[in-house]
Amino acid sequence: MRILICEDSVLLREGLVRLLEDAGHDVVAALPDASALDETVAAGVPELCILDVRLPPTFTDEGIRAALRLRAAHPELPVLVLSQYVEERYASELVVARGGALGYLLKDRVADVRDFLETVDRIGAGATVLDPEVVAQLLNRRTRDERMQRLTERESTVLALIAEGRSNQAIATTLFLSEASVEKHITAIFQKLELEPDESGNRRVLAALAHVEHGAPDAPRPPQTGTAR
């Protein structure tokens, strides 16, 4: 995969270059800031861009602005944003923006080489991957839209667990339900959120993003006793 990196830290930038090239990827450019990003993307035609959230000169939001600009200008271009901390405002802005495949990871995740490389491959293939810590922060938002208000309390609880990255089996265990019941709730959620079936199987991700975008309140969890039904 042809990858462009935009990271101001020399050590991390060079480390990413070495890591990705050793994994068989082609790093077409490794930039210290976003000043030449647009021109480099146009010239190098990367298949994935990896950007830091905070870049020179102000180290505030240059990276996220560059990512938003790329997603608007090149909606087919997958973008992976790396951040030192959970930047809730920046993360939510990026998640709700129109565009293609997206990743938002904390830099600590890069230390797990195998998981990081797998994430790079998934995003390059069209997946949306959000760091669990980012999802947890975004779940605290409280604004809701009409679609969210259609959900029952149980469906809201299931959706919150989907947004946390739980599998159907894990959701069933948490809520003391059968997997068949969980599947019925998820089908109802898809219908109420107006998510049509597609070949890519992204409805689960889209449902989670809808929950994140519109910040459904945290649904109550059942007491940790009982049996599946």
Query: With helix as H, strand as E and coil as C, how does 2-29 read?
Result: EEEEECCCHHHHHHHHHHHHHCCCEEEE
pLDDT digit string (tens) for 102-153?
999 998 877 889 989 999 999 999 988 888 887 777 665 544 456 788 889 9
- CA dist., res. 143 & res. 196, Å (int): 24
Provide the whole-model pTM: 0.63
* Cβ atoms of 177 and 171 closer than 8 Å: yes
Classify domain 146-214 at the CATH topology level.
Arc Repressor Mutant, subunit A (1.10.10)
The token duo for 150 is 């259609």
Residues in a beta bridge with 130:
104
> Are domains 2-138 and 146-214 of this chain identical in fold?
no
The domain limits of the chain are 2-138, 146-214
- SS3 of residue 134 by DSSP: helix
pLDDT digit string (tens) for 62-112?
998 899 999 889 989 999 999 988 777 777 778 777 777 899 999 887 788
Q: What is the CATH number of domain 2-138?
A: 3.40.50.2300
Helix (H) or strand (E) holding 141: none
Neighbours of 93 (CB within 10 A): 15
